[in-house]
Amino acid sequence: MPITVGQDSAKTRKTLSAGGKTVAYYSIPAAEAAGLGDFSKLPAALKVVLENMLRFEDGKTVNLDDIRAFSDWAKNGGKGDRELAYRPARVLMQDFTGVPAVVDLAAMRDGIKALGGDPQKINPLNPVDLVIDHSVMIDEFGNPRAFQMNVDREYERNMERYTFLKWGQNAFDNFRVVPPGTGICHQVNLEYLAQTVWTDTDQNGETVAYPDTLVGTDSHTTMVNGMAVLGWGVGGIEAEAAMLGQPISMLIPEVVGFKLTGRMIEGTTGTDLVLKVVEMLRKKGVVSKFVEFYGEGLDHLPLADRATIANMAPEYGATCGFFPIDDETLRYLRNTGRDEDRISLVEAYAKENGFWRGADYAPVYTDTLELDMGTIVPAISGPKRPQDYIALDKASSAFGAYIRGQREGKAPAAKEAARWEGEGGHTAPVDIPGDEGHHKRGYVKTDEHGYQLHDGSIVIASITSCTNTSNPYVMIGAGLVARKAAERGLTRKPWVKTSLAPGSQVVSAYLEAADLQKDLDAVGFNLVGYGCTTCIGNSGPLAPEISKCINENDLIATAVLSGNRNFEGRISPDVRANYLASPPLVVAYALVGDMNVDITTASLGKDKDGNDVYLKDIWPTAKEVADLVEQTVTRQAFQSKYADVFKGDEKWQGVSVPQQETYDWPSTSTYVQNPPYFQGMSPEPGTISNIEGARVLALLGDMITTDHISPAGSFKDTTPAGQYLIERQVPQREFNSYGSRRGNHEIMMRGTFANIRIKNEMLDGVEGGYTKGPDGKQTSIFEAAMAYQAAGIPLVIFGGEQYGAGSSRDWAAKGTALLGVKAVVAESFERIHRSNLVGMGVIPFEFTGGDTRKSLGLKGDETISIHGLDDVKPLQDTPCTITYADGSTKEITLKCRIDTAIEREYVEHGGVLHYVLRNLAKAA
């Protein structure tokens, strides 16, 4: 489907030749020559946005003043407040967020028919790729059968969803599905889909070259910025609007420059670097800003390491972490099998249009910070947030301090060693360094052996996620650690659930080529699947005896994973402390099995001769790693594995679907249901109403993540979602996960604010999705919300700082809206979730004047009224009246976080999709 370019009033359209072809492009130097401003000092990341303005300039949605604003931004030291209409080139989805997006598109086809419009108008105008990567669970591990058994179980659980997605692939134009078992969407994007410079035909049939840009329904879409592709995560609702041709409304962002100098030293990895970068940028404060990396250090930083840093942008809070085009970009494109003509075009275009990072690259930034990579040391982060950086040699003492904090005032529940031995235990209880009576203990007996579990026992060690499995240096490093450990007779501890889930099949190709997979197998890291697995919470069940021991003894069990997220309740319901680490360290921690051990100095175990083995004995040198990467990570491997990327295996090919324009919603499905958003929708929008007499549904603290609001993992039969399935004769074994059931709004409503670790401050010390209902008694969030809805009473949520951090989870906003919440009031919002709330018609507000839920003495029994909304302007201050339980009142001022004029229209319509649907229905 051709792109529609603007009228080009400034005559910036030029041509260039590369790879034997001539293409049109929109020239930034030509814009300067036309007198639109000086753009020479703009960061490359912002030049991408500027080019977008040049290409789509039509005098209406984008005009010449929008272009001039970029010159003003540079003159003003990297600051500006111009609202822009930005159009990304394409959209990337994964199946957890993609299924509800396709559900919405299918529902919109029904909705437009009801409004008298043409269902074929509901089609993506921009290319959309959906990669099925979030569904595989680790049921089987540690044996050669694990991969196939997990794949078989994945299809058993998810056939309804896969049938629906395959229907969508056939029904919608411009929509492709990458089948299960291929890889993680961000890694597939980095290794295959992304082109750095995109080409397409315009409405006149001419080929146009322009920067590859995208938005994705996963927060880690930012990974591809490592190869100079500007992209970030949005909620499914915003992505759907983008794919339907709706521009993304954004302000010209601030751009923080992060200067990298020096080079990595022996014994450190790209993961160690990114954990330090996350810590630094979180302290700096870069929410809603672009971060661009520059400096001579980039000359020594492989693109795989750049992608690792870019991937973690949501963890440091930025919109994206961008790396400009340079020689390393070209090397990576070539090594991953991209067309030589495309590589020639990337180089020519970047140099011609001012995107190239040469030795003289020195743009203006809003602010800067600097890091000498020579100062990086091995590190992990945890136990609850990615930014909680810990140098590796301080990890055990930091864990001890965490345990003391958790156990303060609580008597440890250790059993006596004599009792353990009397029951036939074969392993003596473990002494825990620096215990001082703080650690709880429990004992596990099996047919083969017995062992002690205690606070800090590592029960999950997983090489997982797009963040690190996209990086051959750390993956080869993990294989070499496994090889050296296996040669000395070491293996995982018996209580550690180990897994290897690469982000693409290419990883398996080079691990096999390096003969390292057998070594990983030997220490328990067998292939379990290609997908997100543990990182998204699909870690699968622990052995029953281990789970029982943890829960009966209230142990703080731990997980170590090479992922990007370690929020509470995310990885496993049995695990309370989660640590992010490089893949080589994940292997090492599996050998130790205990966070209390100082892995840098303590023995990891005994070799075959009874000698102690230390980390330094099995850690590979940088040269060992680099030599194997050079030998085995080849252009041919990428070309071979991606040759039939959309074909899938026999199981996928065997999924049959009907050919029909609209979806025939199965009434009995517990996976896919027609959502209520567009049912009975009027042809015209309403108005924004004041909020009168609202009650508080939840009173929440700082750093409430989208995992807290809408968890992705497993749930029990005692939860509202579990009860819904039980009532429909679905056994608990078939519950699957919240994430896999995002196509069913009934389950997702019941799962909203249902994270097992969320704490509603209206209640005393209670964890989980509970609140007080209209009668003042404790009940589930869902049941209380339904009772308030039945009584016609609107609801509000109160929160602290960084509300909505984490994943770009549209259901965190959709569920909030469907529960009847009209407003969320917080101290600050993370970018994506704020946008998602607006996209669902829920208004975000921020406290002003130093007010917080605590300073206002909120208990949750107040009544809230917010006025001034009938004529609200973007970012306007609005009056709020709090009526306390004793009848007293307090007037405060809130800032309305409807940030732009178009967002106001979205709220008037009830959401962005309602806005798009009404406009399409009216169009001839």
Using CA atoms, how far apart are residues 56 and 398, in angstroms rounded to an integer? 53
Q: Is the pLDDT of residue 410 over 70?
A: no
Consecutive H or E run containing 698:
strand 691-699
Structure tokens at 618: 């099995």
Give residue 569's pLDDT band: very low, low, confident or very high (50, 70, 90): confident
Give residue 414's pLDDT band: very low, low, confident or very high (50, 70, 90): very low
Q: Is the pLDDT of residue 429 over 70?
A: no
Crossing angle (nearest 10°) for helices 472-487 and 270-284: 130
Least confident of 397-411, 606-620, 707-721: 397-411
* Alpha helices, H only, 291-372: 303-311, 313-316, 327-335, 340-352
pLDDT at res. 433: 72
Using CA atoms, how far apart are residues 10 and 7, in angstroms rounded to an integer? 9
* Residue of 244, 264, 193 lying closest to 223 (CA atoms): 193
When pLDDT is averaged across residues 785-801 and rounded to a whole number, the result is 98
299: Cβ contacts below 8 Å, ≥ 6 apart: none
In one-letter notation, the amino acid at residue 733 is R
Its sign, for the CA torsion 37, 42, 46, 48, is: positive
SS (H, E, C) 249-285: EEECCCEEEEEEECCCCCCCCHHHHHHHHHHHHHHHC
Structure tokens at 882: 């709090």
Identify the three-state secondary structure at position 450: strand
In one-letter notation, the amino acid at residue 761 is E
The residue count for the chain: 924
Q: CB count, 10 Å around CB of 289? A: 21
Q: Taking the C-alpha atoms of 250, 256, 257 and 262 in order, what is their torsion angle to the nearest 10 degrees?
A: -130
pLDDT in tens, 126-136: 999 999 998 88
Q: What is the DSSP letter of 152?
A: H
Q: What is the DSSP letter of 416?
A: P
pLDDT at res. 447: 66
115: Cβ contacts below 8 Å, ≥ 6 apart: 681, 683, 917, 918, 921
pTM: 0.87
Backbone angles phi, psi at 513, to 5 degrees: -60, -35
Using CA atoms, how far apart are residues 79 and 367, in angstroms rounded to an integer? 10
Q: Is the pLDDT of residue 424 over 80?
A: no
When pLDDT is averaged across residues 59-85 and rounded to a whole number, the result is 94
- Report the share of the chain in percent with pLDDT over 90: 80
On whether the CB atoms of residues 906 and 235 are closer than 8 A, the answer is no
Q: Is the pLDDT of residue 565 over 80?
A: yes
Give residue 924's pLDDT band: very low, low, confident or very high (50, 70, 90): low
Q: Is the pLDDT of residue 796 over 60?
A: yes
When pLDDT is averaged across residues 781-806 and rounded to a whole number, the result is 96
As a whole number, the mean pLDDT across the chain is: 93
On whether the CB atoms of residues 115 and 681 are closer than 8 A, the answer is yes
pLDDT at res. 863: 98
- Report the share of the chain in percent with pLDDT over 70: 97
Using CA atoms, how far apart are residues 500 and 146, in angstroms rounded to an integer? 10
For the purposes of burial, counting CB atoms within 10 Å of the CB of 723, is it exposed (0-12), middle (13-18) or buried (19 or more)? Answer: middle
On whether the CB atoms of residues 829 and 855 are closer than 8 A, the answer is no
pLDDT in tens, 486-543: 999 999 999 999 999 999 999 999 999 999 999 999 999 999 999 888 887 888 999 9
Please state the separation of Cα 477 from the chain's center in Å.
Answer: 25
Q: Is the pLDDT of residue 547 over 80?
A: yes
Q: Is the pLDDT of residue 64 over 50?
A: yes
Its sign, for the CA torsion 92, 97, 98, 102, is: negative
Least confident of 199-213, 363-377, 566-580: 566-580
CATH superfamily, with its number, for domain 691-710+794-922: Aconitase, domain 4 (3.20.19.10)
Using CA atoms, how far apart are residues 766 and 772, in angstroms rounded to an integer? 12
pLDDT in tens, 205-232: 999 999 999 999 888 999 999 999 999 9
More confident residue, 429 or 381: 381
pLDDT at res. 474: 96
On whether the CB atoms of residues 311 and 383 are closer than 8 A, the answer is no
Q: CB count, 10 Å around CB of 871? A: 8
pLDDT at res. 416: 39
Using CA atoms, how far apart are residues 266 and 784, in angstroms rounded to an integer? 57
pLDDT at res. 27: 98
Q: Is the pLDDT of residue 423 over 80?
A: no
Give residue 652's pLDDT band: very low, low, confident or very high (50, 70, 90): very high
When pLDDT is averaged across residues 351-377 and rounded to a whole number, the result is 97
Q: Is the pLDDT of residue 738 over 80?
A: yes
pLDDT at res. 427: 55
pLDDT in tens, 190-204: 999 999 999 999 999
* Alpha helices, H only, 376-438: 395-407, 417-422
On whether the CB atoms of residues 325 and 228 are closer than 8 A, the answer is yes
pLDDT in tens, 822-880: 999 999 998 889 999 999 999 999 999 999 999 999 999 999 999 999 999 999 999 99
pLDDT at res. 409: 60
pLDDT at res. 428: 56
Please give the sequence-ordered ranges of beta strands (E in DSSP) within 421-554, or none if there are none.
Answer: 441-445, 450-454, 458-463, 497-500
Please state the separation of Cα 213 from the chain's center in Å.
Answer: 18
On whether the CB atoms of residues 259 and 296 are closer than 8 A, the answer is no
When pLDDT is averaged across residues 333-351 and rounded to a whole number, the result is 97
pLDDT at res. 238: 84
pLDDT in tens, 684-695: 998 999 999 999
Domain spans in the chain, listed from the N-terminal domain onward: 13-86, 379-633, 691-710+794-922, 714-751
Residue-by-residue DSSP string for 783-832: HHHHHHHHTT--EEEE--TTBTBSS--HHHHHHHHHTTEEEEEES-B-HH
pLDDT at res. 2: 80
Give the residue carrying structure tokens 């205690």.
Answer: 454
Using CA atoms, how far apart are residues 924 and 922, in angstroms rounded to an integer? 6
Q: What is the rounded end-to-end Cα distance, in angstroms, of the chain?
A: 19
pLDDT at res. 736: 87
pLDDT at res. 415: 41
Which listed CATH number (3.90.180.10, 3.30.499.10, 3.40.50.720, 3.30.390.50) goes with 379-633? 3.30.499.10
pLDDT at res. 806: 81
Least confident of 633-642, 684-693, 914-923: 914-923
Q: What is the DSSP letter of 383?
A: S
Topology agreement, domain 379-633 and domain 691-710+794-922: no
On whether the CB atoms of residues 833 and 812 are closer than 8 A, the answer is yes
pLDDT in tens, 5-39: 999 999 999 999 998 899 999 999 999 999 999 99
